[in-house]
Amino acid sequence: MKIVVDNEGGVHAALDAIGGANMLALIDALEPRGQLISYGVLDDSDITLKASRILYKNMPWQGFGIDGWLDHVAPGELAAAQRALWPILTNKPDLLPS
């Protein structure tokens, strides 16, 4: 999980790789018009979510599956992404899960 916070403590965006009930806490933490991007389901359990929890915040919620992206990405675009990402991960191995 990654959150983007401004200097006043407002949560503008959250990246969620986990899902499940913990995702509800992310939704609650987002400021109005904050954005949630879900890209993993380490916890694929059912959740109960009232529509008002996201609608009244005018909150966009987007899902991103890497497998779907990999199935449709052009080979050149994938190669460019790898060239850009490997140096970052080499220089900052703490970005990888342990």
Q: Residue 91 sits in which domain range?
A: 67-98
Tens digit of each residue's pLDDT (9 = 90 or more) over 86-95: 999 899 888 7
Tell me if the pTM is above 0.75: no
Note whether 20 and 51 are same-domain residues.
yes
Same domain, 14 and 60: yes
pLDDT band at 43 (very low <50, low <70, confident <90, very high): very high
Residues 55 and 74 in one domain: no
Q: What is the CATH number of the domain that holds 55?
A: 3.40.50.720
Confidence of residue 96 (pLDDT cuts 50, 70, 90): confident
E strand spans, the chain: 2-5, 11-16, 30-38, 61-63
Do residues 40 and 12 both lie within one domain? yes
